[in-house]
Structure formats: C-alpha cells, structure tokens
Amino acid sequence: MVKGEIPAKKIYENKNILVIEDINPKAKIHLLIFPKRHTASSINQNAADQAVGEVFAATRTLARKFKVEKSGYRVVVNHGSDAGQSVSHIHFHFLAGEKLKDI
C-alpha cells in the first residue's frame, strides 16, 4: 500500500506517512495510518523515529477533517497475531464517527 502496489483509497499523505480507508471497517470511520519507512511491528520501533510523532500529528488532522475532535476517536496499534496484526508493517487504526465499545 505504501509503495502503491496494492490498491487503496488514500485519505491523507505526506513524505513520511500514508492514511487509507480500512477495507474491513470496525467503526463508521476506520482509517489505517502507515509510516512509509518499513518497520515490521511496534516492538521494532526505534524510540528516536519521528514517524510515530507524525502519526499522532496526523490523527489531529484527521480528527478535524472528519469533525470528531470533540466527540472523540480511538487510535490503536496491534502487535503480533494474537493481537490481530495481520500486516507485517507497523500501522495505527484511527476509529471514530460513532460511540465505540469499551475495551
């Protein structure tokens, strides 16, 4: 998706991150935020990597774009198959647009 080899509906992009719609949404608004630099999972993330900061900057942009900055949104990262990580590239789920179930 980051390389453009897999079709995806792009919502937002800058030089370091890509945001697309999830093809199997779990909420009214379900977006995936990918750092473009490949990292397999959160455990491989370097603390000095600026991409994570950019991910959270993008969540603010998305919250304003979808008008959920006041009603709320959830950001989730899964690590490993037991947590539901099905793509071997770190990504964050942005969920919003409705009352979300407690976790």
Taking residues 34-56, what's their average pLDDT? 68
What are the boundaries of each domain within the chain? Answer: 10-96
Please tell me whether the overall predicted TM-score, pTM, comes out greater than 0.75 for this model: yes
Q: How far is CA 14 from CA 6, 17, 36, 51, 69, in A?
A: 18, 6, 9, 11, 21
Cβ neighbours of 28 (radius 10 Å): 13
Which amino acid appears at position 14 of this protein?
N
CATH fold, domain 10-96, is HIT family, subunit A (3.30.428)
pLDDT of residue 40: 55
CA distance 9 to 36: 16
Average pLDDT over residues 36-46: 62
- Residues serving a catalytic function are 91
Look at 72 and 17; give whichever has higher pLDDT: 72
Q: Looking at the predicted structure, is the pLDDT value of residue 96 above 70?
A: yes
Amino acid residing at 24: N
Residues 6+ apart with CB under 8 A from 56: 75
**Lookup result for tokens 């199997």:** 24
Tell me: pLDDT of 93 over 90: yes
